[in-house]
Chain A
Amino acid sequence: MNEAQNGNPSSANAVEVRGLKRRFGRQRVLDGVDLDCPSGQITTIVGPSGEGKTVLLKHINLLLRPDAGTITIEGTEVTRLGALALNAVREKFGMLFQAGALFDSMSVFENVAFPLVEKTNLTIQEIEQRVHETLDAVGLKGMDSKFPSEISGGMQKRVALARALVRKPRILMLDEPTTGLDPTRTGAIHELIRNTQKNFGLSAVMVSHDVPAVFEISDRIAFIKQGKIRLAGTPAEVLGANDEVFDRFLKGRASGEDAEQAAMA
């Protein structure tokens, strides 16, 4: 699908991770992660639960600080930045949390408008216009005054995506965007992510357990195992790599077995 881009791996990376290490107490969760997320592409991190997928994403979106290693976001090395400089980097990305993380004390409109109200000097009319544009883009209309508790899980994801997109970020980060959705809705959200990424010209970093469905919308796959990236490349490359552990992980998922068990066996 993206032959030209994939054929040129030296093109600028939106996110570059080098030798990232992090431990919690005695548990070594990340043990030297190297990862490239090329600009304008969707990079998906897959792997069994508890292998550090979400922890890795939380380092990339600057919620956690690493013990060692570097993270470069659009050319800026961020691991040693102070709080103010970090906030400047944060302006570049939008984040979709696993459960949406919508503010449940606010309506749909207020949720999507929140980043604009807090961080920009737009007028009320401009904010209203931007919010409605973005809600349209994720396929939601006439929901402004509903509260998160009043709409379905799939709609919550869409609202959360709209909130992540409303400031027109350059990088979109998604933490298991399809958790808790049925297969039909999962497909719809995947399609939405793909289309949004194209239409907004975004770079996207996604963590997903939805293999192999997620391969269809990903430009690159990174397989994380035991705190390291074991396998990375285009979906076709990783599928054809004949990696024993990866294949076992895939099989475990496809046959509905407990993936951790399958991958650890």
Chain B
Amino acid sequence: MNIAETIERLGALILERVFALGGFLLFLLNALFYAVLPPYKPRLIIRQVRQIGADSMFLIILIAAFTGMVLGLQGYKTLSLFGSEGALGILVALALVRELGPVLAALMITARAGSAMAAELGSMQATEQIDALTVMAVNPVQYLVSPRIIAGIIAFPLLTVIFDVVGIIGGYLVGVGLMGAPAGPYFNGIKANMGSHDIASSLYKALVFGVVVMWVCCYKGYNAQRMATGVSRATTEAVVLSSVLILAWDYVLTSILL
């Protein structure tokens, strides 16, 4: 009896998780399906690109500058032990373009725009605004989720590129300007050793992170529970799950792209 009950509960738990996972996947497929289905609303996409992209730009530039600067500092210290300060440029650039650019940019956008998105959709759910869309025969996924996912696909690679460039300049300012690494080899090293493959892998990662972050944040907000703690819980879960998935996908993508 007791064993049967335990098994029953375990089964119910597993079923629940499987259904939740299925719902999670269907949510993305639904959003992508409605993204290609008319009516098209470029206005909504542009607004989201502004919220995710333009409004996050200052933060991205700030974080990128400090990341590049600290790389310049640490890189110079380490390389100078071996007398190879000339390699500072390529060290900073590869670290940024291959890993830190896409990952840190995605984490920053999650913290800034993703959390806001989950909270916004969550409170729309809590105050029946999403139901109101349905009743007015406006598909809420098409109106709310699809534009956000498309905007993520547009904004993430652009912000990642900005992150990479600003970071490389930050590394130059500290490594060359402050610490005195040779100026010429900094950019020459980058030019000689960085291939289009490195840049492409940076963009692939940004693209995947864009979809993952928007997917998770929209899903969590859209399915927030209708109570006072529902919105805050949705926001927290969105940020935590996005961050974990960014790093997990980063490993997967790196092992494929490297």
Binary A-proximity of B118-141 (CB < 8 A = 1, otherwise 0): 001000100111011011111000
Contact A119 B138 (CB under 8 A): yes
Q: How far is the CA of A98 from the CA of B126 in the complex (A)?
A: 12
Q: How far is the CA of A87 from the CA of B131 in the complex (A)?
A: 13
User: Among A89-97, A136-144, A184-192, A256-264, which stretch is in contact with chain B?
Assistant: A89-97
Q: Report the nearest A residue to B130, measured CB to CB.
A: A101
Residues of A near B120 (CB, < 8 A) are: 105
Contact A114 B136 (CB under 8 A): yes
Q: Report the nearest B residue to A58, measured CB to CB.
A: B131
Question: Which of under 10, 10 to 19, 20 to 34, or 35 or more describes the interface residues of A?
Answer: 20 to 34
Question: Residue A103 at the B interface, CB < 8 A?
Answer: yes
Residues of A near B134 (CB, < 8 A) are: 63, 90
Residues of B near A58 (CB, < 8 A) are: 131
Q: How far is the CA of A115 from the CA of B134 in the complex (A)?
A: 11
Q: How far is the CA of A114 from the CA of B138 in the complex (A)?
A: 10
Q: How far is the CA of A63 from the CA of B140 in the complex (A)?
A: 12
Residues 94-130 of A contacting B (Cβ, < 8 Å) = 95, 97-99, 101-105, 114-115, 118-119
Residues 121-172 of B contacting A (Cβ, < 8 Å) = 124, 127-129, 131-132, 134-138, 143
Q: How far is the CA of A84 from the CA of B56 in the complex (A)?
A: 38
Contact B136 A97 (CB under 8 A): no
Q: Report the nearest B residue to A105, measured CB to CB.
A: B120
Contact B128 A97 (CB under 8 A): yes
Residues of A near B136 (CB, < 8 A) are: 90, 95, 114-115, 118-119
User: Least Cβ distance of A80 to chain B in Å?
Assistant: 18
Task: Select which of A87, A97, A101, A105 is within 8 A of B137 by beta carbon.
Answer: A87
Q: How far is the CA of A151 from the CA of B129 in the complex (A)?
A: 17
Q: How far is the CA of A101 from the CA of B127 in the complex (A)?
A: 6
Q: How far is the CA of A62 from the CA of B131 in the complex (A)?
A: 10
Residues of A near B131 (CB, < 8 A) are: 58, 63, 97, 101
Q: How far is the CA of A231 from the CA of B27 in the complex (A)?
A: 42
Question: Residue A61 at the B interface, CB < 8 A?
Answer: yes
Contact B137 A63 (CB under 8 A): no
Q: Provide 13 A-B residue pairs closer than 8 Å at the C-beta atoms, listed in order of the A residue.
A: A63-B131, A63-B135, A87-B137, A90-B134, A90-B136, A97-B128, A97-B131, A98-B128, A101-B128, A102-B129, A104-B127, A118-B138, A119-B138
Residues of chain B touching chain A, judged by Cβ–Cβ distance below 8 Å, are 120, 124, 127-129, 131-132, 134-138, 143
Lowest 5 CB-CB distances: which A-B pairs, in order?
A: A101-B128, A101-B132, A87-B137, A90-B137, A95-B135
